Chains A and B, each alone.
Chain A
């Protein structure tokens, strides 16, 4: 209605169309900031007025509440992210909200100006957060899908302490080269193909690709127990390519067992 009614508003906003605000991914928000956007606005239908049975705007709200806490955690001013709920008929509301938000963001200035860190620091943190998004989605999946009944609950959905723990508890997965039997199970099951390996080649995890889902840890046969969870200390460097070959001793025995 803002368009049809020709209501004038700021030219500072670029819009991206989605079919439901619930489609907005954590990655969209953090990618936008990483690209240097100074503010991100999400518009969804009014709560409880979904024309379907989806009510995806609650999912969007949860995602925003989580994002704001993460932003605070990494020193990015949470006021740079805003969600509002309105119907397609609320043209005036839309322009009011967008004008107000851009004014606020202008006051905050470019990233790093009114945030807890300078621009480079924020960029580095954003990169770190973006790598962890799959892990965050997994850890917080129940809360991300919850339906808040009243506004008081919004504030408490995610707490700063919880985010602190979320980040301090991040584990990395590491395959102990001494234990790996190159059985290929984790190699095959890894959903993001982060495991480098092959037949008779000790498997290693490419930490840049790994999304910390723990699938490898879960599927590694207990008799090998090769996958380790590491937290609070650096992950050991990958062993050199030429050291990865496994020389099996009782190859026949293994074959018979099969």
Chain B
């Protein structure tokens, strides 16, 4: 790689697949005949595969490749695969291909490696058979795993009944070969594995040995409770050591130590090591090649105020190469990296795109029905089981069928061309394709119909592969009968299909960002840097949000200096329009065309915008417990930070300071972890120790959740003799003001579980780690923008993992602490992510809405309102007419689920493309012979 931001030259070498990708159909005949059996790395070497194989069942592309274990590649022998392939897709003479590309920006997403306990033989891994890693166990649980989803232990392939998980394997340790940081994801994935294992076999006893359960992610605390409350599940807080392998049973014993019971040795059928995350193996090579720096842990070195930037301009990083991340966070950074490439390259956006031109659509409304049926062999995939010629002959006998034929691969370019030709030649106006699942290829074939000049909704797929040949591979006759039935049902349905138009809505190419904190400002700037006007609303008179009360972060970022710079940039940007003191009075419209009325210091305004971003932040909980508000020696962490910054003498000279964690959260009414408080406490403790090393600091905690690289600071605090004392929620610390040695103190008493006695600490200051709570205005915003709130009243994203910055309502996006409590760099990651999602909308002139939405036959509507209450998208409303109120659908808001259709007593409201008639025709056709 050479060059600079905006102009990089990259040389890529593609390893040979030894398979001609366009010819391979994924039929796996070659795999059947290949004589070479090798351990399958995809299944952690727990099962075997062949030298030629498909990497895994959802691989893209779903075709085979040949690996280095191939006999021909090693010894020039065999070549059986060449003989059995009917498509001439094997090419054992492929060479590596070199390719030079010129790009403006580069995103590094190499991911991570899991920690390998085999290197040091941790907990007997590699020598004791029934000790597996969590990755091994993950495969054991999976339907595509080594035993098709049966959990069998390695030594005897029996179902284990007693399973132990050991947490923090390779993480949170400073010994050689280990990682000092917390991997952040293992607590949650272990709980998932426990729940899945119990699903597989409810009789399993699961024991999790841990040192702090770090359920700091959104909804993780509830997930933890779910795992914890299952019968037969124990979470035990203890370091462990491996006892022995029992020779007869191959069971494994684990020694552990609890305050209640002392040292114990217990036997388990299977031990799972919850291994952590390592930097990718290629990290150093990548760093050298791309001229970027790595951090102390070997991950990509990033900028705290922009964690997506590497040390080299034009090169960005997304995913776990930033450091340990879970899926939603990886997705934020992926969108965010896209947005930053956009900022860099916006000046040439769209230069490489070409618009597709389709022929004019033929009006088929007056024509008699002429259905064309194409039955695909899919190579051998269908043809080997289903008698395709028979099915074609049968199709010809069906009513309204004007043409039927077979095809080898309908999805191949020549066959698709054949379909368009036949539509024209035979005057077809409905097309049924008996082939595979519509999930992947329906869009392609709809396009084929458009190419032929007929409406794309005149297309119907009959799935005779996933629903037939693949799942009835031994019953050829029955499968052929079924294929005929499926085809007949599809033909019946096709006869009722109506031409539908997709609506192209114009997009107003501006955005509205609600909330002028760090997330909102970052998002607004990123959108504005890509050439779009942004209105930025802030309810206070100043920008900055809660960050105005934070002086520095744990890793030393000067927050005020950064904030100052950010605010200046926002005000100086010609495309960002700031409204302070803003109150939203009304919000209407839909994707691409929102109208929001705002009352602000600039007066009343009506803002029209195409996209909306909710970045409205969160609040600090105002404690009602531990004398807060009654005694001025009781502070919150934010107040403590402010007092330290102000150099309050009394505070700095204090002898004893006690912090209490989890104040106002991880309890019944706020059942979540506020994520940031443990690090905040450590940050303030370290600062105080720096100013006054003599001060005694106690942190009373339930679980220390200093995930990721913050773990290093936890260790540092501990080394500097900050004392960590654990308390249980049912025996919370008690606080009373009293006198000790002549000075007024706050006496904090609690049980010490290690020493087994009651402790009393006389504190000069008591600092409460008050929870981050949802902003008071969330409910109002949720109502205004028709977006949902989760159980804790933080905003609820469209999908936790797949769409973590989108709302279910199209055109509305989410970032920052409005989503869930998070640290500044995390909020910045997500803000860029939201900007990336906004740009995918604003960079288009129009947005296309599906034709398969609901509509109403007004004369049939009796105005009962059943449809309105069934619709979760507020897409239906009453309109007053001369004949009373009638339901009307806004097709832009309709998502096409058809709940209203199933509720309507008169059939007035109907889901296009899935009308009663469409589906009933299939039900009726299914019963015919």
> A22–B914 Cα gap in the complex (Å)?
12
Do B906 and A20 touch across chains, with their CB atoms under 8 A apart?
A: no
| CB-contact partner of B861 in A5, A37, A191, under 8 A | A191
CB of B465 closer than 8 Å to a CB of A: yes
Residue from B144, B796, B798, B864 within 8 A of A141 (CB atoms): B864
A7-B898 in contact (CB<8A)? no
Q: How far is it, in angstroms, between the C-alpha of A25 and the C-alpha of B906 when the chains are bound?
A: 12
Q: Which residues of A contact B924 (CB under 8 A)?
A: 31, 35
Known: A7-B471, A28-B919, A32-B923. A52 touches B895 (CB 8 A): yes
Tell whether, in the assembled complex, residue B808 and residue A52 are in contact, meaning their CB atoms are under 8 Å apart: yes
**Which residue, of A17, A27, A63, has the highest number of chain B Cβ atoms within 10 A?**
A17
Which chain B positions have C-beta within 8 A of A24? 902
Contact status A19-B914, CB under 8 Å: yes
Contact A23 B467 (CB under 8 A): no
Contact B905 A137 (CB under 8 A): yes
Could you tell me the distance between the alpha carbons of A63 and B902 in the complex, rounded to whole angstroms?
9
- Contact A135 to B905, CB < 8 A, known contacts A11-B478, A22-B899, A51-B799: yes
B: interface residue count bin = 35 or more
Given contacts A2-B471, A4-B57, A17-B438, contact A59 B485 (CB under 8 A): no
CA A24 to CA B143, docked complex, whole Å: 29
Cross-chain contact A211 with B905 (CB below 8 angstroms): yes
Expressed in whole angstroms, the minimum distance between the Cβ of B919 and any Cβ of chain A is: 6
> Which residues of B have CB within 8 Å of A90?
143
Interface centre among B799, B904, B905, B914 (most CB of A within 10 A): B905
Interface-centre pick from B859, B901, B908 (highest chain A CB count, 10 A):
B859
How far apart sit A35 and B492, CA to CA, in the bound complex (Å)? 15
Chain B residues within an 8 Å CB radius of A137: 866, 903-905
B897 at the interface (CB under 8 A from A): yes
- A16 CB-CB contact with B under 8 Å: yes
A134 to B474, CA, bound (A): 44
B489 at interface, CB cutoff 8 A: yes
Q: How far is the CB of B875 from chain A (nearest CB, A)?
A: 11
Could you say which of A5, A15, A16, A32 contacts B57, with CB atoms under 8 Å apart?
A5
Q: Do B902 and A59 touch across chains, with their CB atoms under 8 A apart?
A: yes
Given A22-B898, A28-B923, A89-B143, A6-B905 contact (CB < 8 Å): no
CB of B903 within 8 A of CB of A145, answer yes
CB–CB B920/A56 < 8 A: no
| Cβ-based interface call for B486 (8 A) | yes
B505 contacts chain A at the CB level, 8 A cutoff: no
Q: Mark interface residues in A25-63 (1 if CB within 8 Å of B CB, else 0).
A: 111100110011100000000000001111110010001
Closest A residue, CB atoms, query B899? A22
B852, closest chain A residue (CB): A19
Least CB separation from B468: chain A residue:
A11
A178: interface (CB < 8 Å): no
Bound: A212/B861 CA distance, A: 14
Please measure, in the bound complex, the distance between the C-alpha atom of A54 and the C-alpha atom of B898, giving whole angstroms. 10
Q: Which size class do A's interface residues fall under?
A: 35 or more
Check B902 against A25 for contact (C-beta < 8 Å).
yes
Interface residue from B467, B852, B911, B927 paired with A36 (Cβ < 8 Å): B927
- The residue that A18 contacts in the complex, of B472, B474, B883, B898, with Cβ under 8 A, is B898
Residues from chain A with Cβ under 8 Å of B927 in the complex: 32, 35-37
User: Known contacts A89-B143, A145-B869; is A20 also within 8 Å of B899 by CB?
Assistant: yes
Q: Known contacts being A2-B471, A16-B926, is A52 close to B897, with CB within 8 Å?
A: yes
CA distance in complex: A54, B798 (Å)? 11
Flag if B466 contacts A35 (CB, 8 Å).
no
Residue in A closest to B148 when the chains form the complex, CB atoms: A92
CB contacts (< 8 Å) of A5 on chain B: these are: 57, 143-144
Contact of A14 among B482, B884, B898, B911 (CB under 8 A): B482
Complex Cα spacing A34 to B869, Å: 30
Cα of A31 to Cα of B919 in the assembled complex, Å: 11
- CB contacts (< 8 Å) of A36 on chain B: these are 927
Given contacts A5-B57, A35-B923, contact A20 B898 (CB under 8 A): yes
Task: Say which residue of A19, A31, A51, A144 sits within 8 Å of B896 (CB atoms).
Answer: A19
CB <8 Å contact, A11 and B808: no
Which A residue sits closest to B913, measured CB to CB?
Answer: A19
A152-178 toward B: CB 8 Å interface, digit per residue (1/0)? 000000000000000000000000000
Give Cα A167–Cα B260 distance, bound, in whole angstroms: 63
Q: What residue of chain B has the Cβ atom nearest to residue A53's Cβ?
A: B808
Does the CB pair A92–B899 fall under 8 Å? Answer: no
B650-678 toward A: CB 8 Å interface, digit per residue (1/0)? 00000000000000000000000000000
**A151 CB, min distance to chain B CBs, angstroms:** 15
B229 CB within 8 Å of chain A: no
In the complex, A8 has a CB within 8 A of chain B = yes
Once bound together, how far apart are the Cα atoms of A90 and B144, in whole Å? 11
- Tell me the complex Cα distance, A76–B926, Å: 20
Q: Is the CB of A134 within 8 A of B905?
A: yes
Task: Check A22/B489 contact, CB under 8 A, given A6-B473, A11-B478.
Answer: no
Cross-chain contact B866 with A141 (CB below 8 angstroms)? yes
Q: Are B485 and A14 closer than 8 Å at their CB atoms?
A: yes
**Cα(A189)–Cα(B886), bound, Å:** 11
> When the two chains form their complex, are residues B884 and A189 in contact, meaning their CB atoms are under 8 A apart?
yes
Contact between B922 and A16 (Cβ–Cβ < 8 Å)? yes
Inter-chain CA distance A188–B882, complex, in Å, is 11
Please name all residues of chain B whose beta carbon is closer than 8 Å to the beta carbon of A205 when the two chains form the complex.
none
**Residues of B473-519 whose CB lies within 8 A of A:** 473-475, 478-479, 481-482, 485-486, 489
Is B872 on the interface with A (CB-CB < 8 A)? yes
CB contact list, A125-152 vs B, under 8 A? 133-135, 137-138, 141, 144-145
On chain A, the residues within 8 Å of B862 by CB distance are: 189, 191, 213, 215
B860 within 8 A of A: yes
Contact residue among A7, A135, A191 (Cβ-Cβ distance under 8 Å from B859)? A191
In the complex, chain B residues whose CB is within 8 Å of the CB of A55: 872
Interface readout for B807-821 with A: 1 if CB under 8 Å, 0 if not?
010000000000000
Do A31 and B923 contact each other (CB < 8 Å), given the known contacts A15-B467, A213-B906? yes
Which of A96-144 touch B at CB < 8 Å?
A: 133-135, 137-138, 141, 144
List the A side residues contacting B896 at CB < 8 Å.
19
Taking CB atoms, residues of chain B closer than 8 Å to A230 are none
Q: Report how far A2 CA is from B799 CA in the complex, Å.
A: 24
**CB pair B473 A8 closer than 8 Å:** yes
The closest CB in chain B to the CB of A190 belongs to B862
Chain A residues contacting B920 (CB-CB under 8 Å) are: 27-28, 31
A24 to B905, CA, bound (A): 14
Q: CB distance B926 to A134 under 8 Å?
A: no
Min Cβ gap B294→A in Å is: 36
- Nearest residue (CB) in B for A95 is B471
Are B471 and A3 in contact, with the CB atoms below 8 A?
yes
B437 contacts A by Cβ under 8 Å: yes
Known interface pairs A135-B905, A191-B859; A3-B884 also in contact (CB < 8 Å): no
Are A35 and B897 also in contact (CB < 8 A) when A53-B788, A213-B862 are? Answer: no
What are 24 A-B pairs with beta-carbon distances under 8 A?
A1-B57, A5-B57, A8-B472, A8-B473, A14-B482, A14-B926, A18-B914, A19-B852, A22-B870, A22-B898, A23-B902, A24-B902, A51-B799, A52-B872, A91-B143, A137-B903, A141-B866, A145-B903, A189-B862, A191-B862, A211-B905, A211-B906, A213-B862, A215-B862
| Given A1-B57, A32-B923, 9 more pairs with CB closer than 8 A | A18-B919, A19-B914, A22-B897, A35-B923, A35-B927, A37-B926, A51-B799, A135-B905, A211-B905
Q: Which residues of B contact A (CB under 8 A)?
A: 57-58, 143-144, 148-149, 437-438, 463, 465-467, 470-475, 478-479, 481-482, 485-486, 489, 788, 796, 798-799, 802, 808, 852, 859-862, 864, 866, 869-870, 872-873, 883-884, 895-899, 901-906, 908, 911, 914, 916, 919-920, 922-924, 926-927
A contact set with B: CB distance below 8 Å? 1-9, 11, 14-20, 22-28, 31-32, 35-37, 51-56, 59, 63, 89-92, 95, 133-135, 137-138, 141, 144-145, 188-189, 191-193, 211, 213, 215
The 10 tightest CB contacts between A and B, nearest first, are A3-B466, A35-B927, A23-B898, A134-B905, A11-B478, A20-B897, A191-B906, A22-B899, A191-B862, A137-B905
